Amino acid sequence: MINASNSVIEHTARYDDTCDGKLNCTATIKIPKTMQAPVYFYYRLENFYQNHRSYVKSRNDNQLRGEKVTSYQELQDCEPFKSLDDKRDPEFFYLPCGLIARSMFNDTFVLRTEDDIVPLRKNGIAWTSDKEKKFKNPPASAVGIRIIPDFEDEDFIVWMRTAGLPDFKKLYRIIDQDLQGNYTIDIQNNYDVSSFSGKKYIVISTTSWIGGKNPFLGYAYIIVGIICFVQGIVFLVKHKVSPRKLGDTKYLEWNK
């Protein structure tokens, strides 16, 4: 696992500090070693608590599946973004309701070399199960205030799968060509993170059979294995020095 993690090539560039107050800005990434396709383009946020209980439950899955929701009571989990001015008429319901959709990440990126733009593939960034079963556009007869134009948009689907930690990265695009050299990222800096002291990064990475770069699990297995080995030696010595007689009834609880 450690070898697989070390085989992953990953490059990161922070941009919220250099893009502060600018709508359009750039970041640069130098890739000295060839990254073989497919290469994955992520955005990373720090200090954004998508795992907060109130945030995680702030959605209505019936809406997201494309069902027509007409009952105000069904939107209770979406507090405080249920409807405009808290009106109970379906005409004023948010589509979709809830904090997750309301706070969707909306920075955009263009990756380019000095000579050309690198194609970024959007198709395939979301889980197939999410696309096929969990996210469908509402029927034409549905009324409400549209927050997200397309519920089947893969950027939206990726955002709606909330992260388990306050620092996380989400897949933005897939690059179907090898990368090496100097690259510039043109950024449309729409997403403000100053209100929660957040940070924004661009991450370009390959993967291995265990996923992205994360040596923690490998080291955890090694440490636990060493502890178990040492304990095994200790118990072996104890057994040889003062063994317990097998079948001795004095160890039974009722016999004490």
pLDDT tens, residue by residue, 47-94: 999 999 999 999 999 999 999 999 999 999 998 899 999 999 999 999
Q: State both tokens at 106.
A: 């909306």
- Tell me the pLDDT tens digit for each residue of 200-219: 999 999 999 888 888 899 99
Predicted local confidence at residue 255, as pLDDT: 61
81 and 204 inside one domain: yes
Contacts of residue 28, defined as CB under 8 A and 6 or more positions apart, other chains included, come to 13, 182, 183, 184, 185
116 and 229 inside one domain: no
pTM metric for this prediction: 0.85
196 and 242 inside one domain: no
Question: Does pLDDT of 140 surpass 70?
Answer: yes
81 and 193 inside one domain: yes
193 and 125 inside one domain: yes
- Tell me the pLDDT tens digit for each residue of 150-166: 999 999 999 999 999 99
- Tell me the pLDDT tens digit for each residue of 83-109: 999 999 999 999 999 999 999 999 999
Q: Is the dihedral of CA 222, 228, 229, 230 positive or negative?
A: positive
What is the β-pairing status of strands 145-146 and 94-95?
A: parallel
In the chain, % of residues over pLDDT 90: 86
86 and 164 inside one domain: yes
41 and 108 inside one domain: yes
In angstroms, the CA 134 to CA 131 distance is 6
Strand order in the sheet with 24-35: 24-35, 179-188, 108-112
- pLDDT bucket at 178, cuts 50 / 70 / 90: very high
Q: How many domains does the chain have?
A: 2
Q: For residue 92, report the phi and psi dihedrals to the nearest 5 degrees.
A: -105, 5
202 and 227 inside one domain: no
- Number of Cβ within a 10 Å radius of residue 188: 15
In which domain, by residue range, is 95 found? Answer: 2-213
Q: For residue 76, report the phi and psi dihedrals to the nearest 5 degrees.
A: -60, -35
